[in-house]
Structure 1
Amino acid sequence: MNQLQNLFASAILAIGCTTMLVQCKPAAADVPANNPQNMPAVFFDDFSGSKLDSTKWNVETTGMHFNDELQAYVDSANTLSFVKGDAAEGAANGALMIQPKFTPGFVTRDGQKFDFISARINTKSKFEVAYGTVAARIKLSDGAGLWPAWWMLGNGGWPETGEIDIMEYIGEKDWASAAVHGKGYSGDAGLVNRLYFPANNDVTKWHVYAVDWTPDSLVFKYDDVPMLRITKPMAQFFGPWAFDNPKFLILNFAVGGIYPFKINGIKEPYYGLPATTFEAIKNGKSKMLVDWVKVTKKQ
Structure 2
Amino acid sequence: MAAAAAGVLTAVSLATAPTASAETDADAAPGEAGAAAEWDLVWADEFDGPAGQLPDSSLWQFDIGHSYPGGPDNWGTGEIAYHTDDPDNISLDGNGNLEITALRDANGDWTSARIETHRGDFKPPAGGSLRIEGNLQIPGVTGDAALGYWPAFWALGSPYRGNYWNWPAIGEFDIMENVNGNDWVAAVLHCGVPQGGPCNETLGLGHETACPTGPCPGEFHEYAFEWDDSGPSQQLRWYVDGQLHHTVSEADMPADTWADMTGHAGYFILLNLAIGGAFPDGVAGFPTPTAATESGHSLLVDYVRVYTADGDPCGDCDPDPGDGHDAYEPIAATSYDGSSGVPTADDSVGPLSNGDWLRFDGVEFGSQPPLDVVATVASGAPDGVSGLVEVRIGSPTAPPIGSFALGSTGGWNSFTDIPGNVDGPTGTHNVYLTFTAGHGEPYVTVRSFRFRR
TM-score exceeds 0.5: yes
1:287 and 2:298 aligned? yes
1:133 and 2:131 aligned? yes
Relative to 1, partners in 2 of residues 1:103 and 1:166: Cα closer, same or farther, differing over 3 Å? same
Q: Given that residues 23 and 244 in structure 2 are in contact (C-alpha distance below 8 angstroms), is that contact kept between their aligned partners in structure 1?
A: no
* Structure number with larger C-alpha Rg: 2
Q: Could you give the per-residue CA deviations for residues 131-174 of structure 1, whole angstroms, max 9, x where no partner exists?
A: 21001000011223200100000122211211111011102431
Aligned residues: 250
Q: In 1, distance between residues paired with 2:61 and 2:182?
A: 29
| Alignment partner, residue 221 of structure 1 | 239
Q: In 1, distance between residues paired with 2:236 and 2:100?
A: 27
Pairwise CA distance, 1:264:
0.7
TM-score, reference length from structure 1: 0.76
Relative to 1, partners in 2 of residues 1:199 and 1:153: Cα closer, same or farther, differing over 3 Å? closer
Q: In 2, distance between residues paired with 1:198 and 1:44?
A: 25
Of the three residues 267, 270, 290, the one matched with 1:250 is 270
| Alignment partner, residue 55 of structure 1 | 58
Q: In 1, distance between residues paired with 2:272 and 2:188?
A: 16
Aligned pairs for 1:150-169 within 5 A: 150-156=153-159, 157-169=166-178
Higher helix proportion (structure 1 or 2)? 1
Q: Could you give the per-residue CA deviations for residues 262-295 of structure 1, whole angstroms, max 9, x where no partner exists?
A: 11123xxxx322333x2x21xx2x1100000000
> Gaps spanning 5+ residues in structure 1: where?
1-12, 14-18, 28-34, 86-93, 106-113
Relative to 1, partners in 2 of residues 1:238 and 1:45: Cα closer, same or farther, differing over 3 Å? same
1:264 and 2:284 aligned? yes
| Alignment partner, residue 84 of structure 2 | 74
Q: How big is the alpha-carbon RMSD for the aligned residues of Structure 1 and Structure 2?
A: 2.7
Q: In 1, distance between residues paired with 2:190 and 2:90?
A: 28
Q: Given that residues 217 and 232 in structure 1 are in contact (C-alpha distance below 8 angstroms), is that contact kept between their aligned partners in structure 2?
A: yes
Pairwise CA distance, 1:205:
1.1
Aligned pairs for 1:1-299 within 5 A: 21-24=19-22, 36-38=29-31, 39-50=39-50, 51=53, 52-62=55-65, 63=67, 64-65=73-74, 66-85=76-95, 94-103=96-105, 115-124=109-118, 126-131=119-124, 132-141=130-139, 142=141, 143-156=146-159, 157-183=166-192, 184=197, 185=199, 187-197=201-211, 200-215=214-229, 216-236=234-254, 239-241=257-259, 242-245=261-264, 246-266=266-286, 271-276=287-292, 278=293, 280-281=294-295, 284=296, 286-299=297-310
Structure with more contact order per residue of length (Cα contacts < 8 Å, sep ≥ 6): 1
Q: In 2, distance between residues paired with 1:84 and 1:236?
A: 47
Relative to 1, partners in 2 of residues 1:83 and 1:178: Cα closer, same or farther, differing over 3 Å? same
Pairwise CA distance, 1:238:
9.6
TM-score, reference length from structure 2: 0.51
Q: In 2, distance between residues paired with 1:149 and 1:247?
A: 16
AA partner of residue 117 (structure 1): T
Relative to 1, partners in 2 of residues 1:134 and 1:25: Cα closer, same or farther, differing over 3 Å? same
AA partner of residue 103 (structure 2): K
Q: In 2, distance between residues paired with 1:224 and 1:60?
A: 31
Q: In 1, distance between residues paired with 2:94 and 2:18?
A: 37
> Gaps spanning 5+ residues in structure 2: where?
1-13, 32-38, 68-72, 125-129, 160-165, 311-453
AA partner of residue 98 (structure 1): I
Q: Could you give the per-residue CA deviations for residues 196-247 of structure 1, whole angstroms, max 9, x where no partner exists?
A: 2369433321101101112311000011100100001113289444134300
Q: Could you give the per-residue CA deviations for residues 161-188 of structure 1, whole angstroms, max 9, x where no partner exists?
A: 1111101110243100011111132633
| Alignment partner, residue 7 of structure 1 | none
Q: Given that residues 190 and 204 in structure 2 are in contact (C-alpha distance below 8 angstroms), is that contact kept between their aligned partners in structure 1?
A: yes
Percent identity over paired residues: 26
